[in-house]
């Protein structure tokens, strides 16, 4: 199973432009994975590995939000 954040890592590694950063949206499968991880965390059923996966995704999501805000400067 691919971890939810690997999609974002692949996107960054593939090279990009400010417009592509702004347009980036995670796939439905990645969103579903994160929703599952959040639900499991709320229910106390999250393993240590899954907790680490969720934390990595949250960190990258924060980074991506910052990148999108910064990319706006280059396309305006």
pLDDT, one tens digit for every residue, the chain (76 residues) = 677 778 888 888 999 999 999 999 999 999 999 999 999 999 999 999 999 999 999 998 999 999 999 999 998 7
Confirm whether 1 is domain-assigned: no
pLDDT in tens, 31-44: 999 999 999 999 99
Domain enclosing residue 57, as ranges:
6-75
Contact 3, 59 (CB under 8 A): no
How many domains are contained in the chain? 1
pLDDT of residue 3: 79
**Residues 6 or more apart in contact with residue 19 via CB below 8 angstroms:** 71, 75
pTM of the complete model? 0.81
* CB-CB neighbours of 31 under 10 Å: 12
Confirm whether 21 is domain-assigned: yes
d(CA 65, CA 57): 12
């Amino acid at each position: 199973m691919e971890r939810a954040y690997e999609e974002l890592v692949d996107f960054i590694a593939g090279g990009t432009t400010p417009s592509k950063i702004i347009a980036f949206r995670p796939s439905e499968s990645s969103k579903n994975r994160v929703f599952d991880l959040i639900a499991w965390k709320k229910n106390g059923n999250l393993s240590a590995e899954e907790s680490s996966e969720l934390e990595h995704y949250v960190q990258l999501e924060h980074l991506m939000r910052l990148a999108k805000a910064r990319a706006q400067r280059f396309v305006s």
